Structures are given as C-alpha cells and as structure tokens.
Structure 1
C-alpha cells in the first residue's frame, strides 16, 4: 500500500508542476502606512525618518485551507486505502515562520493476509476470543478506525528568501507540531454472532488474491470494540471505545500560487500517537511496534483579508525585494548631491567633454567641442570670417578665405569703377547686426572690391524721411556694422570707405563707387 501512496503523491506533484501558474508581483511597500497596524506606527515613522534601519512588519492576510486525501495507519495489520479531510487556518509570524491550527477527520481500514496468534486485551474484554478458540488460537486481524484530530503546527517556509527573482510562486515548507486525537477502533471478529471458521479459506497464492478472498469471506460489520489500553471515553460507534491520545506531528509540503488570493498544495504528514492499538492489534511492548498515521493530502488555500489594508501572507513575499528595488529606484535612501568636475567651465562635465581645454567663453556643442559654424577648420572663437563660402576654401589661420574672381569679372578693365553696381544691405527693426543673409551679400561686394582694388566705396545710411530723434545714430551704427564686416571679415582696407547719412529708407544701407 505504501508504494501506491507514493505513486499517488508523485503523480499529483507532477501534475501541479506541469501546470502554468500566474506569477503576480508582490504588493509590498514598506513605506505604505495603510498596511501597517497602529501598534507598529512608531517603528514605521522611525524607519521613514531615517531613525531606524528596520521597517515595521506589515499586516498580512490569514490563510483558510481545505484538505483531503489518502489516510492510512502504519501498524501491525496490513492497511487498506482510507480517506481523511478537514480544514485549517494559518497566520504568519514573519517571512519564514507561521503557525497553523487544523482539524482532520478520517476513516482507516486494515486486514491481514495471514493468520496470527490472538493477543489479549488489557481493557474491555477480548472480542477475538470465540474466533480464536475455533481456529486453534489464530485470527485474521482487521479493523475500521475513525479518528478526529486537532493539531497546532509550527511551519518554516524554505523558498521565499530569493536573491535572483522578485517573489516566489512555489512555497516549500516543513512543519512540526502537537496534536490531540480521538480514535474509535472497531473490529470484524464475528460472523454475525458466531465465530469465523478460516479452515475454508485458501491462504496460498499472491497477497492481493488472499486479501480479496478474505474480504469476500468477512461480513464487514465491524460489530465489536477492538482491544485497547489506556484512556478511553464512552464516545464512538460502539460505546467505551474512544481512545484519547496525544500525538507528535511532522511533515513537509509544497504550494503553488495561482493568484494573490488562492494557491494549491500537496502535503505529507506523519502523526505519532505512541500507541499500538490504532489497528486493533497489540504487536508488542517495544516502541518499534507503535502505530503511526501517514496522511497525504491535496490542499486548497484561500487568503482572507482586505487587500487595501493587508498584504499577502508573508511566506509569499520575498523580504529582499525592497532592498533590491531600493538599489534600482531609491525611495528612502539618502543620496548625496553629485559633484561633477568641469575644468574648462564650458558647461560640459569632464566625463563627457571631448575637448576639455576650450578657452573661457568659447561657444561649444553638446560634446564640449568648440563650434565651427562654417566648417572651415577654424573654431568660431578664432574665426575672423564666421561664414566663409565653401568656394573660398581653404582659409588662412584667421578663418578668412581666398575667394577666386568670378568668371564674369576676370577680364573687367581696371578703370570700370564708374560702372560698378553694388547691392544694398537691409536691416530689420532696430537691429544693427549683420544677418546671415547680409553676409552673403557683403561677401559678393567684397569679391567685386577685391577685383577692383582702385575703387573706393561710398557707404550711405538713411535716418528716415524726417530724420526722427535717434535715427541718425541708428543709421550710423548700421553703416559702421557694414564697414566693420567688410574690413574685419572680408579684408577690405578701411581707407577705401566713405561714410555718410542722408534722409531716406531707414532700413537700408546703400553702397556705391565713390570714384
């Protein structure tokens, strides 16, 4: 029978292991005061305010369980399949230890496959006397035992302290506890009112065949109390046959999480009542002959409690989860203000600065490299011609290009100053800055002046039609901006320019040959 029991256990565990269960991330935040009991708030506040290194234990749910499965007595008499079932309530003491109260009721059966000597009862007479007398002092021992058992177990979870994942979806555990058991043991010792005569039964062949013949031979009434000793009360199917026994319990189990509210488990429990009469037969005074109970059960467990005020039972939560999350996304950790060096003061830290020695005030890009707007190889802070047309490359050390003479102007006679036509430069609003559009215009003017080195230029600004207050000053500054650009950026001699201000369109500066 033991082999069948372990085959059943292995099959149930394989079925559960092969099923896909949902893994749910734990809802445990040690900084969430709604999950903390009032009695723990002092510790919670001390932890939150960095006055304590340890968080308060959160309130967690209770677990209500229902169980049922294969129940059998391991004793002197060969057992037959029995059934047990009941319910339990469990509460955590911490992430590892929890305590469980449980009720288990059962029916157990047993019958020998051979005849053995009768053993006398020490209490309540001997129900086997008539059958033993009819069979030369030999009997075929059998029993039907009904038990009621209350137990209190301390459980240790072995699989929720995880270093490489957030939370467990499988909970392995072991337990040890105390139980008190009431057992009603009855035997089928008579065929109605007469003794059994086993001379007609064939005891040869395979064990299972012999047991089948004996099962068919007996009437199955279990009409008499089994022999027993010790404490007894008048409760049970037959009066004066209820044994009361203390018991030691131990076992192991595994649970599989289905959701935050429900899990399925398989458990094997051994109960040691230190009694040799659970199977109705006294095998001897030695402790090795004491009977014990083995119970393999399937368990359905439900978590009870308000999820807004309680977390899952703590054996389903990894206590290291908060620590790892704090390393990734700190919520409580005090982090110092980072000090990042920037040797050249350009706003890009040395760690990312590709040009860590740019002069103070030099414009740089996001990588800390000095800007070179026209791409001529001379950084802007050195470039005297900020926008150099590409056809004027290469440039000199100051970033000034050497623009070739236009094809149309290569053969212009030297005395063509009077016919030279130069464009005007426009300014917007009150601006005095040469825009990028104007830079291209002034570059073409510079090219014409370089092609005609003998020509001077009249630079005329306009103060407006009525020469409003301030208009002359604005006009003068625009004239100066044009002359400065042609001289500083394009290399035209300042002595070639003649400046004047007249009424007219205040937004333009006109250039014309002065010769």
Structure 2
C-alpha cells in the first residue's frame, strides 16, 4: 500500500512539472524565455557496499558473471531561474559485485528509482554569465525511492544463497523486515548527490557528462550485513532483522552521457559574438540570464547629444507672427496692409476700413446676417486708465455697430509697457480693460454679456520698450469685434478667464 501511495505521489509530481500540463509556459519575465527540457541519460553503474571487491563468479557459466552494469534514466526539467532548476527523474538498471574474503559471494540487483532533485548552476555563480557561454556546470541533490530485487550467489558453487523478497524465505517489503506479502521488490529511500557538465550543441540539444552518487538508506542493498562478529555474520537470517550491522549504508555511483532536448517556441542561442538579441527568438533560461537580454542604457557623447538636439529642434517660427508693425491688432504675418495709420479700424486681414461707412451701411441693412472681424486699438497715457476723447469717439462707433449687429461680440485685451513691476502692470492693464468695458455699457451698449476681457500687463508688447513711441504703442487696449459664435468656442468657454490670477 505504501508503494502504491509513493508511486502516486511521484506520478502527480511528474504531471505537475510536465510540459504538457503547464502548456509549456515560458519564463514570466520582461522577455519571453523557454524553461522546460527533457534529458535521456544512458549510464554505467558501480556498487559501493559490503559485497564490493570487483569479484564475480569463479565459474561464469553457472550464473551471473563479471559484466559491467548499466542503467538508463529519463528526466523532465524545469528551470526556475537562471541559477536554479528542478527535475523529476526516473531510472532503471542493474547492479553487480562480489567479495571473496569473508563472504565468498556475489550478487545481482535489478532496480527502479524515482526522485525529485534541485540543481544549481555553479558555472554562472562562480564565473558569471559572460564567460564560457556554451558551458554549464551543475551540482544537484534531492530525495527519492528505490525499488530493488537482489539475489546473492556463492562464489564457489554458484548456488543461490538468499534474495531480497520472497514470501517463504524470510523476505520483506523493506530489507530487514519480515512481512512477506509476495512482492518481488524491496523499497528504500535514496538521496542522490551529483554534478553534471553540459555543452550547448544547438539551440535545441545539449550534451553532458553526469556523475551521481546515490545514498541508499540501507546496508542491505546487497542482502549482506557487515559485522566484526563472526557469529552474527555467519547467520544469513540476520539480514532480515531490524538490527543493523557494523557496515556503512550502501551506495552506488553512476556515470552517464546526458542528452538534453530543450522545449519551447522559437529556440535560439547566443551567437559567437556573445551578443543577445531577443527579437530573434526565445533563449533558454538554463543558458541565458534574463539580465543579459536587457540592453545597456545609451549614454550619448556631447557630439551625439548636439546632433540629437539639432535633429529634433523645431523649425524657427516666423517672427512676423509676433509682430504688429502698424499696431492695428493684426500680426504682420496675416496683415495685408502692414502700414495702416495709427488708430485705423481694420478687417481681420489688416485692411483699413472706414468705420463710419461700415456703420452707415449696416444701419441701412439691419438684417445683414454677416459679422465681419474688425480690429482696432485705443491708447492710454503713462500709468493711466482714463479713456482719451479720441478713443471715446471710437468706442461710441463700436457701440453703434454692436447694437445694430447683434450677432457680433467684442473682446477687449489690455496691455501695459514695462516700466513697473510685473504684478503692478497686470493690474494696470486690468483697470484699462475695465474702464473700456464700463464706458461701453454706460454709453449705450444694450447687451453687456457680449463683452469679454483679457489682460496681460507687459507680457505681450507690440514693440520693443526702447523709445517713447514704442512705450506709447504698448499702453493700449485692443478692440476685437468678432462673430458672437467665436465667444462660445472652447478657447473662451473652458480656457478663458475674465479675471485671471496671472496672465495666460
């Protein structure tokens, strides 16, 4: 029953680690990597225990002779990280040996073994991942169970002396216990310790040399109990008792040629130049450290940085976009008449217009649906927000126009020259647009909601503050008559502030 439960446990572990069960999932890191592999290992075996002297039957034709013993193993491997992995291992084979002194006997044991092992990649741990890229040196250990059927023969006569499990000859399920259920095999715990040296032949195949020392938890693998007491050793029945003899626990070693097939998609390996390129496919985690796939940060030289900056530098903006030579409110880039007289009323294209003629025309045709964009400026004295008489006349004409053209709106934009602190100039430009708005509403504008204001202080000059004339041009309120639907645009509905804390 115990044997069945252990077999079930090993089978469940194998299914859990098997590539089919895990759907061959790759390494869960920044780069996709393959992690599963299968290894087949034919091996030579050598017993270490009481009946260990390399002596076999004197008369080979009467029984087992002195052949070299062998086994074959199958492993399913899962690489957990670049340095650590785990394996489910199954092996079957035979052990033989004998000793003339004291025992005058040899034995043959057929065995089957299953184990779980953990591996550590010593090559990368000791030498790093950049050296010996095609080589891999592992050490491993684990735990498992061994089932064996051992038969002992007399060296002189070749007669069968005893064997491990037989229902009627002091046999046992576990060597040293007499339970006798008729099972052919005896079971014991085994602890494998080993090392392996691998070479990566291709992106799919590795070839390695594998040495394992299997420590079996019994001194009765050869059905012999060592003792310094002749009386104890002379009684063959003592091998079935619970008591131990004076000999050490039995062991056996194996030396095998391991052929590993690496599973996964788009398998690749590092090139001869030692450079990794994850775009070509998936490297295997047992051979490649994920850190090596990360490209080193690019540190440009001063020349590189200068070239990159020049390549990404935006094209220079036409300076005419920020200049208004004639101070009519239309940038030179769009102004079709860049030299209109000061105080002129212009269209959206900067063309001078006769405001009286426009108003007279509109008065004669009150149902005219269009609202043309008009621009004009009014100027102020130094540090004043008082409307000049000439500017008042301009504003009255604007009121007359707006009262007729109800589909028009007006935007007042206040400015100042630079001769004060920044905060003071902002407040001064605010007082100027408020004075202009107050004049419009008091002088007869029927719908004050059509007036919007902005103010920027010294932030948007139209001329350099280098002369008296230029300073005068910068002390201004821009008058922009626009279609009223422009006032409903996102620029005024979401981003516009009639009383901003600071200029936009």
TM class by shorter chain equals 0.3 to 0.5
TM-score (norm 1): 0.40
Higher relative contact order (CA closer than 8 Å, sequence separation 6+) = 1
TM-score (norm 2): 0.41
